[in-house]
Structure 1
Amino acid sequence: MKYQRLNNIIKSMESQNVPQMILSSPASIFYLTGRWIEPGERMLTLYINTDGDNKLIVNELFPVEDIEGVDIIWYKDTDDPIAKLTNIVDKDKTLGVDKFWPAHFLIKLIERNACKNFVNGSPIIDRARMIKDKEEIEMMRESSRINDNVMSKAVKSLCQEYSEKKMVSILADIFEEENAEGFSFSPIIAYGANGADPHHEPDASTVKPGNNVIFDIGGVRKHYCSDMTRTVFYKNVSEEHRKVYELVKEANLKGIEAVKPGVRFCDIDKAAREVIEKSGYGKYFTHRTGHSIGIEVHDFGDVSSVNTEEVAPGMIFSIEPGIYLPGDVGVRIEDLVLVTENGVEVLNKFTKDLIVV
């Protein structure tokens, strides 16, 4: 077990009167055990309680090595894993339940009157995962370094012969060359007016002179995610598109400049958004400024106008303002940032100067 992480969670459990909890998310189980298990439709639960009794219930189909500090309880496909879990849970106490646990498992546990009452235990683990420890920070730096290298190679690969879909396949090869384990999310490659859709799905479109090209890409390295967006232009760039680009770049920089311990997420969003709003493009910045990231590409927490929580050292999240003019152009610039004791560290090093390929 990752004991320091576990101790932090137990302290939170105690303060919130949650004496026992089950986790089912592969990401959260990995966070505590260092083992990644994808159970599919089969039940997977890590039971923890404030007395230090930790048990992993897992199907014997998944060969998990011994984990220090955890009893592994195996079951066969013909067994009833809920019965095994019922025998573990203290029926006289509250049980925290992972928000990702399939309802059909939870309903069966409720029907057995397995505990005093059920509560959502996910905020406890989610908030613990928001603050990265030294090991995680190094992994996020490495993952982002790989993403920088991939971005550099991808931009250089751009040519008129390649469709958006073809560029996605090229990206997959580049991530493999850079020793990533795959994409952290489905890449967004968008040419020209396609870039005005922030979540455009790459299609058969080919790039034409004067087009903006959005590269929103990320990979996974040892289960930690990267995410970065750059917008380049093909062959030439109009003055209007250059103006839009520079505004988005300024918004990105202002957002990053606002990051330091004690600042609210909503104030970071405001710092970036005001640049775009004051220039008359406010209605074309259609999404939040950023999201938290770590083991999952969208961890708990975001950089938005409604999030009044203060940022703290160890948090990692994106700053990704954009302007999207329907039928014309889309520009987004995204970096991952780490909150330090005194300010901010930008994890992405790939240039934000306007590039014409």
Structure 2
Amino acid sequence: MEKIRLEKVLKEMDKENIPQMIISDPAAIFYLTGKWIHPGERMLVLYLNIKGNHKLFINKLFPIQEDLGIEKIWFQDTDQPVKILSEHIEKETIIGIDKNWPARFLIEFMEQRPGSSFINGSYILDKIRAVKDEREIEYMREASQINDLAMEKIISLISHQYTEKNIEQQLMNIYEELGAEGPSFAPIIAYGANGATPHHEPGHTRLTEGDSIIIDIGCKKSSYCADMTRTVFYKSVSPKAQEIYHIVKEANQKAIAAVRPGVRFCDIDAAARKHIEGMGYGQFFTHRTGHAIGIEVHDFGDVSSTNTDTIVPGMIFSIEPGIYIPGEFGVRIEDLVLVTERGCEVLNHFDKELIVID
């Protein structure tokens, strides 16, 4: 077990009067044990108790030889894992439940615990995971460095010869060549009018002159995620697209400039949004300004108008304003930022000047 992280969780559980916790999210289990386990439809539970006596409930289909510093309770497909779990948990008490625990397990568990009360305990881990330690920060820097190189390589390949889908396939090869563990999410490659859909899935569209090209890509390194977006243009750029590009770039820069300890997430969102609104394109900025990132590409927390939490050193999140003109094109520019003691460190270094591919 990651002892320092575990101690933080147990301390918060005690503070919040949650004596027991059921954690089922593989990413959270990795955070606390250093071990990835992907259970599919089978039950996987890390059980924590502020008194100690923690346990990992795991199917024999996933043999783990190494000592994780915690007792393992094994079961197999023909067993009743929820019943086994219930038998190891203190009766008639408050139990913190992982927000991601499937209902097929949770409902059965609640039926077996008539004297217990249940609370979503995930906010405890979410809060702790939001602030990265030095090791995590280095992993995030490394992943972002690889992503910068991948962006440079993929832009150099773009031509009429390749469809969006072809570019996506090339990206997978590039990540492998650069030593990444794979993509952190399904990449978005969007040509022309496809870019007006923020989460466009790469298809068989080919480029025509004047198209914008949104490239939203991310990789994993040491189990930590990168995420970056750049928008470039093919052969030429119209005056309208050029204007919108610079508005989005300025919004990105204004939001980054607002990042410093004590600032609220909603204030960072406002820095980008007010600029775009002031330039007359507010209705075309259709999503939040950013999201937290770490072990998962979308960790808990976001940069939105409704998030009044204040930022602290060690947090890492995206700044990704965009303008999307239906039927025409889209522009998005995204960087990851690390909150420092006095401001922030931008983890992406790939150029944000307007690029026209010949």
- Are 2:14 and 1:14 aligned? yes
Q: After the TM superposition, which residues 141-290 of structure 1 pair with which residues of structure 2 at under 5 Å, given as runs?
A: 141-290=141-290
1:296-315 pair list within 5 angstroms: 296-315=296-315
Q: Which runs of 4+ in 1 moved over 6 A?
A: none
Q: Structure 1 pair 75/115, CA: closer, same or farther in 2 (3 Å)? A: farther
Contact 1:91–1:115 (CA under 8 A) maintained in structure 2: yes
Partner SS, residue 267 of structure 2? helix
Q: Distance in 2 between matches of 1:138 and 1:115?
A: 46
Q: How does 1:86-105 map to 2 (within 5 A)?
A: 86-105=86-105
* Alpha-carbon separation, structure 2, partners of 1:210 and 1:111: 61
User: CA-atom RMSD, angstroms?
Assistant: 1.1
Structure 2: state its 5+ residue gaps: none
State the alpha-carbon separation in 2 of the partners of residues 133 and 199 from structure 1.
31
Following superposition, the deviation at residue 114 of structure 1 comes to 6.8
Q: Residue by residue, what CA displacement relative to the aligned partner does 1:22-59 show, whole Å, maximum 9, x if unpaired?
A: 10000000000000000011110000111122110101
Question: Which structure 1 segments of 5+ residues have no match?
Answer: none
- The reply on whether 1:339 has 2:339 as its aligned counterpart is yes
Give the alignment's TM-score, normalised by structure 1.
Answer: 0.98
Conserved in 2, the CA contact under 8 Å of 1:59 and 1:77?
A: yes
Could you tell me how far 1:113 is from its partner in structure 2? 1.6
Instruction: Determine the C-alpha separation between the residues in 1 that align with 2:316 and 2:64.
Output: 30
Residue range with higher mean Cα deviation, 206-215 or 74-83: 74-83
Q: TM-score, normalised by structure 2?
A: 0.98
- 8 Å Cα contact 2:92/2:113 also seen in 1: no
Deviations 1:90-111 (A, max 9, x none): 1132110111111111112112
Alignment check: 8 A CA contact 1:288 1:305 kept: yes
Distance 2:342 2:88 in 1: 45
Q: Per-residue deviation at 1:216?
A: 0.4
Separation in 2 of the partners of 1:232 and 1:257?
23
d(CA) in 2 for partners of 1:66, 1:78: 25
Q: Deviations over 1:100-134 (max 9, x none)?
A: 11111111211212762111111111111111111
How many pairs are equivalent?
Answer: 357
Please report how far the alpha carbon of residue 326 of structure 1 lies from its aligned counterpart in structure 2 after TM superposition.
1.1
Please tell me whether the aligned partners of residues 22 and 97 of structure 2 are also in contact (alpha carbons under 8 angstroms).
Answer: yes
Equivalent residues of 1:86, 1:114 under 8 A apart = no
Q: Specify the alignment match of 1:40 in structure 2.
A: 40
1:33-72 paired onto structure 2 within 5 Å: 33-72=33-72
Aligned-partner residue type, residue 5 of structure 1: R
DSSP-derived class of the 2:169 partner: helix
In the TM superposition, what is the alpha-carbon distance from 1:232 to its structure 2 partner? 0.4
How far is the alpha carbon of 1:74 from its aligned partner?
A: 1.0
Write the distance in 2 (CA, Å) between the matches of 1:101 and 1:260: 35
Whole-Å separation in 1 of the counterparts to 2:202 and 2:8: 42
Residue of structure 2 in register with 1:355 after alignment = 355
Matches of 2:115 and 2:96, distance apart in 1: 10
Which residue identity lines up with residue 269 of structure 1 in the other structure?
A: D
Contact 1:131 1:313 in 2 (8 A): yes
Any idea what the Cα deviations from partners look like across 1:216-275, whole Å, max 9, x if unmatched?
Answer: 001111211111000001111122211111110000000000000000000000011111
Aligned to 1:74: 74
Deviation per residue, 1:187-233 (Å, 9 max, x gap):
11001111111111111110111111000001111211111000001
